[in-house]
A and B are shown apart, each in its own frame.
Chain A
Amino acid sequence: MSVDRRGFIKTLGAGVVGLAVGAVLGWAAKPLEVREVTKTETVTVPGVVERKLPKATVKIGVLGIRSGLWSTYGEFIEQGARLAAEEINAKGGILGSRVELVFRDELADVVKQAKELVDVEGADFIIGIDSSGNAMKVGGIVSELGKILVVTHAATHRLTEELVYKEGKKLIFRSSVPVYQDGTLAAYIAKDLPVRKWAGINGDYEFGRVSWELFTKTLKALRPDVEFVVDQWPKFGTEDFTPFISALLASDAEALFTSIWAIELVTLQRQLTIMGGYKKFRAVISTLGYSMDVAYSLGTDYPTAELGTWVSARYMWPYPPTKANKDFVDRFKARWGRLPAYSAETTYSAIYMLKAALENAATLDPDILIKTLEGLVIMTPAGVRWIRPEDHQAIYEVPYGRIVHKGAEVPLLEDLKAVPAMLYYRHPPFT
């Protein structure tokens, strides 16, 4: 059969069209999972598509108290941040981008510092913040900043419950356990102690007020027979607690609850001992009593009550007894010469949270990163942290323990009492 030129082109054209239609139909008729497998393979073939961040340097702005009496806390934040950044950079950074840290003092007008971190320094993230008041201030302008904020110390529940959950400020996250640790969990410890009459001494500011309120409410619900016979409210910056202590001792309380922290707690514990507080109170609960500055300062003088001096923090180096934690403690000690303070761990873990999100999303777009961080589950020194999607609060547990002296460089803990985090954390809708 002879085929002329026109006929040949027609046949060829029909063939091409037929092939094309067949190919399209065939592709469309392929089972779904086959298509997905093909897609995954293309992405994971090395060198074919390179996943990297749009910038060669990821800049993290770090806020903390760096001047005055509380500057130890800014130092803890810095130590945790530096260790994380050094480790990450030594292993090639985040998707090839180096981590760079910029530190600012939150006591020098925190709003101005946060704005400068973003506008002048070009920070991609802001982490840290010691004071609850400052956390609320930066949280309030977070939309204006347009960057993700991970609070690593400030403990007011309002940050996550109000700003994130109720007002929808989704850029805010928190890697440290809030005041649930100080107020609620302390009540679970108190309920098992054979004492009925409690005294309280707490700071006359938001954190102190909320701690005492949560403690008394929770304990009353768990143990209706308890009584709260006296409460004292020293101001922030109290250098001498003697008048408050003698007022506490004038009551018939059998046990003492305090959320006083840092340098003030060192003085409070010493003056309690000097004035006979440890002869009177059979048990003492000190919610931030195992902050490392306090443990190192008091050392062998750390007083122990008859039924125990029960202490906690937002992370305590002996817990959990995992390899991941032990290795972290060793690395921290090798780098800084001291055991890690709680805000060092919470800041260290905050940077690893960001690293995980960046590696998953391969972008610096805050909206995509928010989605990646929500529900993130990550192994950290303090144990597994889960970022609760509703309020962006990291959920992990920290126990209380009883102070004992074993001749170590700091007092140690015994009878560690942990309660599952989901039991003592407050939950949405936070009524």
Chain B
Amino acid sequence: MDLTPFLTQIFIGLYKGSLYWILALGLVLIFGVVRVINFAHATFYVTGSYMMYTFYMYTGNFILSLTMATLIAGALGVAFEVAVIRRVYKLETIYQLLATFAIALIFNEAQKLVWGKGVVYIPIPEALREGVSIGGVTLNYYMILIMVIGLLLFIIVILFMNNTIMGLRIRAVWRDPVMSEALGVSTRLIYTLVFFVGAALAGLGGALTVPLISVGPGLADYLIVTAFIVVVIAGLGSITGAYIISVLVGVLSSILVLITPELDIVILYMIAAFILLLRPQGLFGER
């Protein structure tokens, strides 16, 4: 039996999993620390995409555009936290959901006014246009770059959380915001910081995909569903869990496309439902 098709599916799955991870990481951070289920997360993603497109159109510089897109998405996250989220922390979850959902809708429509209803994209950087060809499938260098960035992000976040004072403070707020506040940690500052990082990560994910996935208004509405599945399976609040599950979901869904093209998504949802039944807190969740 020729295993090449499986190898290429696994490779594609690792790339897709890395994308899910970048989105899921922001979701997990924001939920873990701020305890808000952020429906507007896809909005930051698409903002990153459009910013990447716009800066690239004007400058033609990939690295600069990527940086600007990430920072602007992060800044938008801060504005969002200060203007909206801060007012609904203490309210019931349903109000948080409504507020974040409303923001998502407003941004979707606003983006249409600015960038039009059609789709836009930018070319893959010259140096990464080629790839390795295995069994007729070209595994593009750009996809490899996304995998590497995903892995680097994982290492950086884990090191930051475990080895810095700020990481310690974030973990403290994550565990017990009231006690942290009593001990002099500014939860307000931590919340804003986490929103910046979460939104910037979503923006980075969005910016990285413009050369591979064309962006249009509301594009990430579908992508975000998978990111939510990842977070639910992993357990809301587990960073390592989110990385492992992102990669597994990417690889599994990719292999399922090859072996059961009729049922690929169904099986994924069934696994999620099954895990929720057995472990409602998720595979890596504590609560």
Across the interface, which residues of B come within 8 angstroms of A296, CB to CB?
Answer: 118
Enumerate the 4 nearest inter-chain pairs by beta-carbon distance, A residue then B residue, closest first. Answer: A250-B5, A276-B138, A243-B254, A237-B222
* A71 contact from B112, B131, B133, Cβ within 8 A: B112
* A267→B143 CA distance, assembly (Å): 15
Chain A residues near B254: list those with CB within 8 A: 243, 246
Interface positions of A from 193 to 248, Cβ below 8 Å from B = 231-233, 235, 237-240, 242-247
| B110-139 contact mask (Cβ, 8 Å, vs A): 1 or 0 | 001000011111001000000101011111
Chain A residues with CB under 8 Å of B143's CB are: 242
Task: Kindly state whether residue A89 has any CB partner on chain B within 8 Å.
Answer: no
Instruction: Return the CB mask of A141-181 against B: 1 if under 8 Å, else 0.
Output: 00000000000000000000000000000000000000000
B117 touches A72 (CB 8 A): yes
* Structural contact, B8 and A250, CB atoms closer than 8 A: yes
Nearest opposing residue in chain A for B133, CB measure: A276
B221 adjacent to A69 (CB under 8 Å): yes
Query: Is B162 among interface residues, defined by CB-CB distance under 8 A?
Result: no
Q: Does A100 contact B (CB under 8 A)?
A: no
Contacts of A67 in B (CB 8 A): 108-109, 218
Known contacts A71-B117, A239-B222; is A275 also within 8 Å of B138 by CB?
A: yes
What residues of chain B have their CB less than 8 Å away from a CB belonging to chain A? 4-5, 8-9, 11-13, 15-16, 19, 108-109, 112, 117-121, 124, 131, 133, 135-140, 142-143, 209, 212-214, 216-223, 253-254, 257-258, 261-262, 265
Among A253-284, those with CB < 8 Å from B are: 263, 266-267, 270-271, 274-276, 279-280
**Which residue on chain A has the smallest CB distance to residue B112?**
A71
B257 and A243 form a contact (CB under 8 A): yes
Number of interface residues of A (CB under 8 A): 35
Known: A75-B117, A276-B137, A297-B120. A242 touches B261 (CB 8 A): no
Interface 0/1 of A275-318, CB less than 8 Å to B: 11001100000000000010011000000000000000000000
Contact B257 A276 (CB under 8 A): no
Residue of A nearest to B11 (CB): A246
Q: Which of A69, A72, A233 neighbours the largest number of chain B CB atoms within 10 Å of its CB?
A: A69
CA distance A240 to B213 in the complex (A): 6
Given A68-B217, A232-B257, decide whether A270 and B138 contact each other with a Cβ distance below 8 A.
no
Q: Does A418 contact B (CB under 8 A)?
A: no
A-B CB contact pairs (8 Å), 30 listed: A67-B218, A69-B219, A233-B261, A235-B265, A239-B219, A239-B223, A240-B213, A242-B15, A242-B143, A245-B137, A246-B8, A246-B12, A246-B137, A247-B9, A247-B261, A249-B8, A250-B4, A250-B135, A250-B137, A250-B258, A263-B214, A263-B219, A270-B212, A274-B138, A275-B137, A275-B139, A276-B133, A276-B136, A280-B136, A293-B119
Q: What's the least CB distance linking A296 to chain B, in Å?
A: 7
Checking B119, B213, B253 against A243 with a beta-carbon cut-off of 8 angstroms, the contacting residue is B253
Chain A residues positioned under 8 Å from B12 (CB to CB): 242-243, 246
Residue from B216, B219, B221 with most neighbouring chain A CB atoms (10 Å): B216
A247 engages B5 (CB within 8 Å): yes
Which residue of chain B is the closest to A231 with respect to CB atoms? B261
CA distance A271 to B143 in the complex (A): 11
Shortest beta-carbon distance, B266 to chain A, in Å?
10
Instruction: Find out whether the CB atom of B140 lies under 8 angstroms from the CB atom of A274.
Output: yes
CA distance A267 to B121 in the complex (A): 9
